[in-house]
Structure 1
């Protein structure tokens, strides 16, 4: 069931009132799920029921995306501000250092929360921030084109396209390796979410300056990349591993940029493995596993 929470966030630009939409289910250690730019929390639906058997799953609509309003006027949708908002959101929801998992922009945010010591583990699926400048320009160009198409297509045409595998591929093949597996209803909903995302332009603008170069020490970190990621290409994985040397780097065979839909069982296993509680002593002695 979806709900909203309102709270005051102590942002770098002063305290501001923020409202976030979320869904919460399951039992066990809390696991915070953060989606990518232009998407919404329903991106996690293919794996949520699997995760909820072992975790309390909290999937958020990031500010300015899905059902969450944009940040208040004067607040940039940049990394420090959004991280401060997410930390305040966790406090409002009674989450004390949850596990965090994210995809794309959400993966970058999860890593930032880990760097700040606000979560107990991080699993990042194709996280943003490990690009070269040409790779960033390419990805941002693709995202801008996807947004323009989503805003331009009439609703009845989107619904008609969604009814066939070929049509779903035309709408979503940039982010899914197996777009035919996505349900027509989900494709329509995420196309509308992309078209209506209030925070899209500001988030993309702030992302031009982002490079994630800091380590995330003291907690387990898993980095996972789909072998068929056409947006943040798989060669960024080893680059991310070099920046976070204690992380596991995991290969997701046959998966695209948003892998939860392409192989739900594999992605759920990676998320569950990455969000297990590990004794602190194990973090310094366990070797990293490089699978990509």
Structure 2
């Protein structure tokens, strides 16, 4: 199957500064991240993805040195020239910073940058959401930066827990010309009945907005391997809510190598939609990412 991987990363820890991987022990939602505190480059990625025919990939910013968002773009450009990967990029920008206007203008003038990612401030639980909190999607400073995306031809990759997706819907309705792409399936980490009910309701609210799409990725659970039986219902529910024309499959490699191999994850995706039509499968694995991230077919590898 020919695939476009809609969410992947590269990093060279010997040459570049990624504070989250180099400054302190990493212990995020998958637990101990020590196994990925090493450089990960196109040769490593091609080895991981060798079972599949890789058409293109979308590089997502890696929380590079926040004082130098344009430095990561220059580094990715050198990778593209040398390795023909990645195909396109979602770059770092801080929408509530004073330099947002100049950074977004620079990204908009870079031919392989398709959008930006800025992780808004998030509450730790559904009941703790404070509307308009500084750094959140309701913050006027955040919205000022967000308002500049469309004019620069940029989309917005959104990584936030599902309980902030109603805010994302409000943002999408206020700026209907800006494409929003939810990362990692809205982070359905709580697999209890109540947790999944809240996640589904939040996805339904986001799906009301035609300018919101979603990447099915990041489905690992702390301390557990990636399993089709556990993730198939999540995959199916997401596609039912958003439709097969607004969902994309993605590896989140190398981060998700902590919970499964590339083959385990993509074969799990394939098994979950084995009864879908060939056209729907083509959309989920390739065409939607090509359209949403505006990938030139001549750049397919």
Greater strand content: 1
The interval holding the TM-score normalised by the smaller chain is 0.3 to 0.5
TM-score (norm 1): 0.35
